[in-house]
Structure 1
Amino acid sequence: MRFALSLALMLLPSIAVACGPDSDCMIGDRHYRIAMPEGQAGPVGAIVFAHGYRGSARGVMRNGGLRRMVSEMGLALIAPKSARDDWDIPGAPSDMASTGAAEIAYFEAMISDAVARFGIDPDRVMMSGFSAGGMVTWELACQRPNLFAGFAPVSGTFWGGPPAACAAPASVIHIHGTKDRTVPLAGRPIGPTKQGDVLDVLAMYRAVGGFGPETVVQIDAMSCTRQGNAADDLLEFCTFDGGHSFSRSYLSYAWDRLRAAGKV
């Protein structure tokens, strides 16, 4: 009995720091959750998926279909969590004075922690998110393009329209419903600010990255306009006939496109 008790006490520290899909991985006063792929050894790639307004890392991990799909792709699913109800990004109604610096620092720390703690391959990580999560995805694409191998924002873009400048271009695959009324393609006013116009944002990024001629393809229920540049980056704009909705197939499509381009 004494040996068993001693063993239990020795294990307490490791239990306390353990985290995964059902418990928080702490980074200071912030956290994230992670689901590793089943049966995978060695460094693995990952999809980071940012929740929408008032969402949570716990909520992302409760999406069993998403978790299974990402695991079957041989990837980890990483679910970040905003500090408050919304992501701290420029132009957000919750904090119009925000520069987004705190959120950028959080994502940098999260990736470093996941690489050190779980053996995530930092060169094979795709950033994505839905709605407000798509907005923070665009901010990261603009401010920290080298932090991820590619970006797949879904139904979300910059608050207030395109920023004055972005860093070096990356691969971006933007997916949006043509009948979205929550985050319309043309944006809409909310309180003291306005959601950006997706076409304006794409035009800005096209110029930043020097993206070339367009090719239009039909992929299942999506119509996609594809462009490339001299660095073999991708810029894609895919629309579907629907509203403010998300399908896990959007993530597998974006990952497959990045893999075909040699990005992941």
Structure 2
Amino acid sequence: MTRLLALLAAVWLGWTGAATAGCGASADPCEINLGAYHVRLPDGEIKGAILYIHGYGGSGAGALRPKDWVNTALARGYALIAPDGIPYAEGRGRGWSFIPGRRILRDEPVFLAAVRDDAARRFGFDPDQVILSGFSIGGSMTSYMACQQPDAFAAYAPVAGGFWRPHPTECAGAVRLLHTHGWTDGTVPLEGRVLRGEDSTDPGALMQGDIFYTLRMWREVNACNQLRADRFVTKGAFMRRAWDRCADGSALEFALFPGGHVVPDGWAEMMLDWYEGL
């Protein structure tokens, strides 16, 4: 019995080590000047990469724990890169410094580009074949990066996060973007919500943005002048709308699912099919 328990413990520890994100063969994160990031690599050739921005209070290592989207992306040959946000006070995890009107603690676009380039150099993949994605406030960070530097990544895939109020009024250029959101999301509702202040009329309120405004912004940026969507998917786990008659090289799609504030099962399969079909 003792030998059996020891064997089971060894197997468990070995599995945990294999599933833990570090810096390639090292269990420690990759360090660069502005911060750190974590990596998980697929078996065999690297087809591309996803740079994934964690949500409020999370971490890069936590974002890459085994789950549906992580397992799917690795099985399809994608390297997964998850940077660490800035630590919050009092042990409340990590977050990102980008919200309009608030003090900027780190130049996040510079940091994300540096993570992309460092990881590509270390692990031997094409920096021009990296998808930027993120969940919740990480999805918001993804949206702002797409707006400010649309050519920095091959495509953008925010989940459950968009712009904050006051909304941007312009972006730098056309994007290739798939936005995914839960129909019943109460943490980042489709209409946004007031996080600090009395209500939406409070001039000092801290407010999430309106996802429908975000989509309108992307249509304008991508010169989708017909406004209405060109393609629809109404079967399966996601209800999707796509705009095709837009600026050359752009892509815009919106996917709704019936759940709440989560990265839904099947998301990575859908997103990578979209990306590979561009």
Aligned ranges for residues 145-164 of structure 1 at < 5 Å? 145-164=150-169
Task: Name the structure 1 match of 2:102.
Answer: 96
The Cα shift of 1:248 comes to 4.8
Report the CA distance shift for 1:83/1:115 in structure 2 as closer, same or farther (over 3 A).
same
Instruction: Could you list the structure 1 runs, at least 4 aligned residues long, displaced by more than 3 angstroms after superposition.
Output: 64-67
Over the matched positions of the two proteins, sequence identity in percent amounts to 36
Instruction: Give the partner amino acid of 1:171.
Output: R
Q: Find the counterpart in structure 2 of residue 57 from structure 1.
A: 60
Deviations 1:63-117 (A, max 9, x none): 25443321211110111111222111123xxx7133x871011001111101111
1:61 & 1:246 partners in 2: Cα distance? 12
Residue 218 of structure 1 corresponds to: 234
Map 1:122-141 to 2 at 5 A: 122-141=127-146
Alignment TM-score, normalising by the size of structure 1: 0.84
1:73 alignment partner in structure 2: 76
Give, as a single letter, the amino acid of the residue that structure 2 aligns with 1:32: Y
2:49 counterpart SS class: strand
Q: What are the ranges of 5 or more consecutive residues in structure 2 without an aligned counterpart?
A: 1-21, 88-93, 197-204
Return the TM-score normalized by structure 2: 0.80
What is the root-mean-square deviation in Å for CA atoms of aligned residues? 1.9
Q: Is the 8 A contact 2:60 2:84 kept in 1?
A: yes
Contact 1:47 1:76 in 2 (8 A): yes
> What's the counterpart of residue 231 of structure 1?
248
Matched with 1:19 is 23
C-alpha distance in 1, partners of 2:206/2:34? 29
Partner residue of 2:125 out of 114, 120, 126: 120
Shift of 1:241: 1.1
Q: Which residue type is aligned with residue 257 of structure 1? A: W
2:150 partner letter: P
Runs of 5+ consecutive residues of structure 1 not aligned to the other structure: 1-17
- Aligned-partner SS, 1:257: helix
CA contact (8 A) 1:162 1:204 kept: no
- Deviation digits for residues 169-214 of structure 1 (CA, Å, limit 9, x no counterpart): 1111101111111000000011231000000111111111112441
* Whole-angstrom distance in 2 between the partners of 1:258 and 1:161: 30
Question: 3-state SS of the aligned residue for 1:145?
Answer: coil
Paired residues of 1:22 and 1:61 also in contact (CA < 8 A): no
Deviations 1:1-58 (A, max 9, x none): xxxxxxxxxxxxxxxxx92384200012510011111022xx6410111110010011
AA aligned opposite 1:47? I
Query: What corresponds to 1:3 in structure 2?
Result: none
Distance change (3 Å), C-alpha of 1:60 and 1:197: same
1:4 is matched with which residue? none
The residue type equivalent to 2:147 in the other structure is C
Distance 2:168 2:111 in 1: 21
Q: State the secondary structure of the residue aligned to 2:129.
A: strand
Indicate the residue corresponding to 1:201 in structure 2: 214
Equivalents in 1 of 2:234, 2:193: separation in Å? 28
